[in-house]
Structure 1
Amino acid sequence: MAASNNGLGVDNTFRKKFDREEYLERAREREKQEAEGRGKSKAKGPPVQRKPLKHRDYEVDLESRLGKTQVVTPVAPLSQQAGYYCSVCECVVKDSANYLDHINGKKHQRALGMSMRVERASLKQVQERFEQLKKRKPPGSFSEQDLDERIIKQQEEEEERKRQRRERKKEKKKEKAAEEEPEIDPDVAAMMGFGGFGSSKKS
C-alpha cells in the first residue's frame, strides 16, 4: 500500500535552479534587438490635424456616361473600367448610390485631409449668410403678384381641362347610346303601332 502511494505521489525532492546571469543576458539581447527594430521602423509623428468638413465646391458628375456603350477589358486601367472611378482613393465603384456613399464617407474625406466634424459657425457667420441669401435673387424669381396671377391662370386651365373631359364623356355616352339603339324597320313599326322609336302613341 505504501509503495503504491509513493508511485502516485509527486516527486518534489528535485528543485530546478535558475541561472540569473543567463536570463539577464537573454533579456539584454532581446531589448537590444527591439531597439534596433524600432530604429528601422518609421518614427511615429504627432497626430495629424485635419481640416473640418466643408461642402463640395463642384458638381458630382453622375450622368455624363449614361446611355453610352463602353468596351471593358480585364487589363484596362481602373479609370477606364465600368463604374465610377475615384481618383483620390484609386478605386472603382459600380453604381451611383454607392459612389455617393463613398465620396461622402470617412475614408474618402480622410484622404482629402478632412475630418468628419463640421466647423461650428458663429452667430455673425450665420447672420452674414442670411444677408447674402436675401440679396441673391434666383433666376426667374417673381413677386407675390406674379404668384397670384400664376395661381389664377392654373385654376382656369384646370377648369378648362375638366370641362373638356365632361364634354368628351357626354360624346362617348351619345355614341354608345347610338350603337346600342336597335334599327327598326318603319313598316314593322307602323304595323306594331309605333309612330317612331321611343314613342308609345298609336297612329
Structure 2
Amino acid sequence: MSEKTGAYGNKASEGSFRRKFDVEAASAKAKEQDKAAYEHAKSAEQAAAKGKKAPRQKSDLPKPTQALQARTQDLEIEKNLGKTIVVNQSAGGKGPGFYCELCRRTLKDSIAYLDHVNGRSHLARLGQTTQVRRSTLEQVRAHIAYLRSSTSEKVTSKNFDFEARLNAVKEQEEKIRQEKKESKKRKRDEAKANALRGIIAADPPTSTEPKSKKSKGPSSTQLDPIAKGVEEADQMASMMGFGGFGGQRKR
C-alpha cells in the first residue's frame, strides 16, 4: 500500500505539512536585490551631482533562451507616412507615435522605435540575446540555393515584363509617328490653302476699260499715297522751322 503524500510532496507519516523554504537560496537572492538597489542608488546620486536624471532601474526580465533571430514581420514604419491622424489621449489612447505592445511603451519617432526594437530590453522580453548564432556550412549552402532560385524567378518575371514593355513602347512610337505624319500633312494643306487665298486677294479688280499697252509706269492710284506722304512731311518740316529735307515739290 502506497503512503499518502501532502500538498507539498511531504509524507503524511512525517507529520509536517508545511512547506520548507531553502534559506540559502532566499538569502542569496536577497543579497543580489540589495546589491542592485545599492548600485542604482549610487548611480542616481552620481547623476544628480552632475545635474542629470537618474537612470531607470532595470526590471526583472526573463533570461534569454535563444540567439538573435531575423525579423519575420514588417514593422510598418511607413504605414502612416503623409497622413494626419487625430489622437484622443483622454480616452486612454496610446498617444501619438509608435507603440510597442510587448513593452507597453510609446516612442515618438521611427528612429527611436527602431532603437527600442533592436535594444536589449525588447530582445530580452522576446527571449533573445544580442549574439548572433554562427551558421554552419550546410545552412550557408541552403541559403545560397534559395537566393539563386528566387533570383532566377525574378529574372524570368523581368524578361516577361521587358517583352511586354518593349511591345508597348513600339506601339507608342508608331502612334507618335502617325500623329507627326498627320500633323505635317495638315500643315502642308493649310499652307497651300493660305497661298491660294493670297493669290486670289492679290488679283486687281477687273475693269471694263482696256489698258493701254504703252503705259509701263505706276498708275495714278499707286502714286496718290506716295505724294500724300511727301506733302505731309513737307508740312511738318515747315511747322518745325525747317526749310525741308531736300528738294521741295513744285506746286
Higher relative contact order (CA 8 A, sep 6+): 1
TM-score for both structures, normalised by structure 1: 0.48
